[in-house]
Amino acid sequence: MTLLTQDEYKSIAANMDLPTGAFIDGKFCPAASGKTFETVNPATGEKLADIAACGAADVDFAVEKAREAFDDGRWSRLHPSERKDVLIRLCKLMTRNAHELAVMESLDSGKTIYDCETVDVPETIHCLKWHAESIDKIYDQVSPTSDDHIAMVVREPIGVAGLVLPWNFPLLMLAWKIGPALAAGCSVVVKPAAETTLTALRVAELAMEAGLPRGVLNIVPGGGAEVGEPIGRHMDIDMVSFTGSTVTGKRFLTYSAESNAKEVVLEMGGKNPAIVMDDAENLDRVAAHVVNGAFWNMGENCSASSRLIVHKDVKAELLERVAHHAKAWNVGDPLDPETRMGALVSRAHFDKVCSYLEQADNVVLGGKAHDGAFVEATVVEVPGNDAVLAREEIFGPVLSVIEVTGYDEAIRIANDTDYGLCASIFTANVKHAIRGARAIRAGTVTVNSFGEGDISTPFGGYKQSGFGGRDNSVHAHDQYTQLKTIWIDLAEDADEAVD
């Protein structure tokens, strides 16, 4: 992706036509109530647009149209190669409009244009393309049976899927969900986060241009109580995939239990450890990974390395190198391609992160906040894993440092959390690396690096970080399909059939 200048990005922003309505049955429409809510640029506090504030009636309408589209087979029974062709056309349209999508994402979320252009938009397109290409390459099975029988194990699209998105990666999380859902043949009702609605609406518009049938992709903006809960409780939604906070995610289990026992997939919070042992090689490289893991996307990342568990013998040298690398993570205008840390998503979230900074007694680096939106890269030493800053998910650019004296202690502290999403371990000892990766209870463990894998590897967590399935990889398709056994009797007569 070629980066433009700050002035060019500002020109795109000034001339953009922002979508404002719900997108249901292939067209934009106002909320049934006529209500709207403001979406603002978190970096400046300026209003961007008034968005349709939907409610239960709009959810009902979207589900009705999604069900019609699913049942008549306009998408669900389309030939797999035809579904692939539509999604590939969508990817081409998104590529053609990549700068617009990146600017829209940055304005709405506070994310840096650098990240939007180099990570979010290209990875979104790659994710959709990967799932599109998988449509006609995932085979069903024939089970081993007797000579008189044949048994087929087939996948069928689950039906209407409710997809509830977070605000930290609006485009990418949209792709993580609609990619496999649409590939499977489902119709979907998407609730974007109220803070970050714009790009989901624009993608839906591009999907119609690409040839996606009406009613297959519906976007219903609004608040959690007004839209999220009605999706969770809807009797005609077959499954829900949610990404967001653990507190909110647990509610969807209740909604399911009190409605139609729909399937629920949850991807929730994390308090992810980065273990650095005394034999770790190239501490400068380690520090670069730690800094990237802690401060990328302003720390608004469920897989952020928010706990640095470091051996006492290398702590001082590592923190010195962390401070050096953190200098490159400057705070500033998100539309400046030189800025590495943009604005937190909202004033409410800014206040929450600042409340944790007030509890920091031993600030090694940063610790300052600016203009009701920006927080510097911050490193805090904590007395142990029981400290609030070591246990609670801050979801901001705050790295808590915990000193340990040995390998077993490091593994124990890494697992001493309610979460289990991601972890990293830095060591030159191969046995420690492999045993640590096995021992740490997390869905993704990286060795000598920070990361989440890629589109080919499943992403999700243990314990209160996840439930019911995985995003990414072919495994993501499982949550949007049902397995069916078709048993065929080949016996020549009734007596053989009975036998």
Supply the residues annotated as catalytic: 267, 302
Q: How far apart are CA 427 and CA 280, in angstroms?
A: 4
SS (H, E, C) 127-175: HHHHHHHHCCCCCCEEECCCCCEEEEEEEEECCEEEEECCCCCHHHHHH
Tokens of 434: 């492999």
Q: In DSSP terms, which residues pair with 58 in a beta bridge?
A: none
Q: How far apart are CA 422 and CA 440, in angstroms?
A: 9
The b-or-e profile of 83-99 (16+ CB within 10 A means b, else e) is bbbbbbbbbebbeebbb
Look at residues 231, 226, 108 and name the one whose alpha carbon lies nearest to residue 218: 231
∠ CA 134-137-141, rounded to 5°:
125
Do 452 and 303 touch, CB atoms closer than 8 A?
A: yes
Look at residues 77, 301, 108, 100 and name the one whose alpha carbon lies nearest to residue 198: 108
Tokens of 274: 């980065």
Q: How far apart are CA 24 and CA 27, in angstroms?
A: 6
* Neighbouring C-alpha atoms within 13 Å toward the C-beta of 424: 26
Do 287 and 322 touch, CB atoms closer than 8 A?
A: yes
In the chain, what is the straight-line distance between the N-terminal and C-terminal CA atoms, in Å?
A: 65
Positive/negative CA dihedral, 219, 197, 251, 295: positive
Q: How far apart are CA 426 and CA 436, in angstroms?
A: 10
Q: In DSSP terms, which residues pair with 171 in a beta bridge?
A: none
- CA 106 from chain center: how many Å? 16
> Coil, helix or strand for 492?
coil
Give whole-number Cα distances, 13 to 7, 117, 319, 393, 407, in Å.
10, 14, 39, 33, 50
- Radius of gyration of the CA atoms of the chain, in A: 24
Do 204 and 22 touch, CB atoms closer than 8 A?
A: no
What is the DSSP-derived secondary structure letter of residue 119?
Answer: I
Residue type, 58: D
What is the DSSP-derived secondary structure letter of residue 447?
Answer: E
